[in-house]
Amino acid sequence: MNSEPQLKLRNEDIVLISNQMLEDRYLTSKQYITQEIVKSNRVLYVEANYSFGKLFLGLVKGSWPVHPFGSLRRVSENLWVLTPLPRLPLRNHLRVCGWLNQSLLRWKIRSATKKLEFHESILWTFLHQTAELIGTLGEKVSLYHCVDDWPALLPMAGMGRPARIIKDENELLDKVDIIFRVSQKLLADRQLEHKTVVDIPNGVDTNLFRIPSPTETRIFEDLNELPEPIIGFSGSVGNWVDVSLFRKVAEKFSHCSVVLIGLNEKNPRLTEILNTPNIHFLGMKKREDVPHYLAKFDVCLMPFDKGQIGEGLLPLKMFEYLALGRPIVTISSKTMETFEDVLYCADDHQSFLNQVGKALNEGIDQDKIEARVQRAQEYSWQRRVELYGERINRTIAQGEIHAE
């Protein structure tokens, strides 16, 4: 009899605690993972709890649907969505506020899992502040999925104190059975010697992000009228993005259009460059339209700041660029070393500009295009979830549960 753990998660009850709404403006790993695991498991997707400010705006202005007392709804045969109560302010500043938020969240999840008759579930949390939930929800295994450097990222948005965030995250790290992280740089300064840490990079929706056939090509007025070549960026323009590089690229390659699509994360530096004649910020796009915009980019950019956050980034956009076969110019980092064969890497601003020039001169190199697409295929979400499942099943089979 084969004693090896099965590769896939099957017939499990999974409680996935996200920091995003299921139908958010843009999808990230939480929604993609949910789309895969729900195919053969029952899943309770716990949405991010919105602030009282958003609750007020939702009730008064109808900016978005809100649920003042939370809600539990069924989305499909195997998927339920729990919207928690609005979160209390200062949760990442004061311990008591974080404890109260976790207590309220635990109460709502307990009520939902009892109603749905979830038993011996897998507790899969993306929230750094959920240590109080571990071991209290009847789970048979718990895991923390670290996708960002929260002590650096959240304070940038005025959403907490680094010291408080680190303490909360350390408490969670001590309690969970498995730690998934998308980059070795994440949590590198923590004491993890006796923990099960598994490095699994992000993935890509290879069904959506693929080179469109001639019959699938779409024409967008805001893009079609711009001068070519097009040097593009897709994603959130947060403080981890070196916005000054957009301006330098635009000035160096003044015959090109520099196009940005995505979300402006209240980055004040973005407004400083939008008066540059050949920089065009086109805003958020429908998810199904994004691959068609990327297909029009002659060169794709990843101009990350070389600070703490930039060093740990392995963004979804890289895999999406690769799946379209586009040339990619990025600021180099330890995390990017694995992909140097399919990237144009640069150590500083001048070399970044030089690499953009090389990428523009690449032309239609079919071998390079196929190499990028092939690399992206290795990182499909289906394959990512198989890796997660293999590690979870092995932990359960070997009894490595709640090791203190």
256 and 191 in a single domain? The answer is no
C-alpha separations of 115 from 44, 77, 119 in Å: 11, 15, 11
Q: Which of 6, 13, 9, 8 is nearest to 138 (CA)?
A: 13
Q: Are 15 and 126 in contact (CB under 8 A)?
A: no
Distance, in Å, from the CA atom of 265 to the CA atom of 68, rounded to the nearest integer, reads 26
Q: What is the dihedral of CA 10, 13, 17, 21, to 10 degrees?
A: 80
Q: What is the pLDDT of residue 404?
A: 44
Q: Is residue 181 part of a domain?
A: yes
Amino acid at 83: T
> DSSP alpha helices (H): ranges in 274-328?
290-295, 308-312, 316-323
Residues 108 and 238 occupy one common structural domain: no
Specify whether 348 is located in the same domain as 219: yes
Note whether 155 and 282 are same-domain residues. Answer: no
Residue 396 CA: distances (Å) to CA of 68, 145, 197: 38, 17, 15
DSSP state of 380: B
The tokens describing 135, both together, are 């071991």
Regarding whether 235 and 116 lie in a shared domain, the answer is no
Report the percentage of the chain scoring pLDDT > 70: 92
Domain count, the chain: 2
Q: The domain containing residue 112 runs over which residues? A: 13-203+380-398
Same domain, 361 and 264: yes
Task: Identify any residues that bridge with 141 across adjacent strands, giving them in sequence order.
Answer: 122
pLDDT under 50 in the chain at which residues? 1-5, 403-404
The full 3-state SS of 11-71, as one line of letters, equals CCEEEEECCCCCCCCCCCHHHHHHHHHCCCCEEEEECCCCCHHHHHHHHHHCCCCCCCCCE
Q: Are residues 173 and 47 in the same domain?
A: yes
- What pLDDT, on a 0 to 100 scale, did the predictor assign at position 60? 79
51 and 198 share a domain?
A: yes
Measured between alpha carbons, how far is residue 255 from residues 141, 192, 279, 374 in Å? 56, 50, 11, 32
Residue 403's pLDDT is what? 46
Task: Give the containing element (helix H, strand E) for 83.
Answer: strand 79-83
pLDDT at 3: 47
The residue to which tokens 């403080």 are assigned: 239
Residue 17: per-residue pLDDT: 97
Q: pLDDT of 33-63, one tens digit each?
A: 999 999 999 999 999 877 767 777 777 776 6
Distance CA 232, CA 351 (A): 18
Instruction: Dig out the tokens for 254 from the structure.
Output: 């003044």
Cα 183 to its chain centre, rounded Å, is 12
Q: The whole model's pTM is what?
A: 0.89
Give φ, ψ of 48 to 5 degrees: -65, 140
Using the CB atoms, write b or e for 99-115: b if 16+ within 10 Å. Answer: bebbebbbebbeebbee
The answer to whether position 44 is within a domain reads yes
- Tell me if 237 is assigned to some domain: yes
Residue 319 shares a structural domain with residue 342: yes
| Domain presence at residue 403 | no
List Cα–Cα distances, 61 to 49, 265, 401, in angstroms. Answer: 19, 22, 47
Q: What is the pLDDT of residue 308?
A: 59
Query: Domain holding 180: CATH number?
Result: 3.40.50.2000
397, containing H or E segment: helix 381-398
Task: Count how many Cα atoms sit within 13 Å of the Cα of residue 277 in the half-sphere of its side chain.
Answer: 7
| Contact residues for 215 (Cβ-Cβ < 8 A; gap 6+) | none
* Structural domain contains residue 140: yes
- Give the C-alpha separation, 226 to 258, whole Å: 9
Tens-digit pLDDT profile for residues 67-93: 766 889 999 999 999 998 888 888 889
Judgement on whether residues 352 and 364 belong to the same structural domain of the protein: yes
- Let me know: does 134 contact 123? Beta carbons within 8 Å: yes
Has residue 2 been placed in a domain? no
Q: Taking a C-beta distance cutoff of 8 angstroms, is the pair 299, 327 a contact? A: yes
Q: What is the pLDDT of residue 30?
A: 96
Distance (Å, rounded) from C-alpha 37 to C-alpha 242?
A: 35
